[in-house]
Amino acid sequence: MDSSITENKLSKAERFALDEWLTYYPDDLTYDEIMEMMEVEEWMVDNITVWNVVENCTVNQVAMFIDSTKNHFEQVTADRPLL
């Protein structure tokens, strides 16, 4: 993945979370656009490949893992106030 493209559209927390759970996602989309694509209860979504450890989960389940990872990253790196 070309990080120069995603660097402009994704925060560090968003990029970290997506990279933790996905092996491929489009470089030209925002975090919200990717998450919106994953809101379906399907096993696969075009142009998004989940990490093989979670391939038995639906994409919306993986989306929840991604969002949780992003929120945790933001908290531990002080990108956002602690709740």
For the packed helices 59-76 and 12-21, what is the interaxial angle rounded to 10 degrees? 140
Residue ranges of domains in the chain: 3-76
The pLDDT score that the predictor gives to residue 82 is 54
Give the pTM: 0.75
Which residues of the chain fall short of a pLDDT of 50?
1-7
The pLDDT score that the predictor gives to residue 63 is 95
The pLDDT score that the predictor gives to residue 79 is 56
Separation of CA 27 from chain center: 12
The pLDDT score that the predictor gives to residue 17 is 95
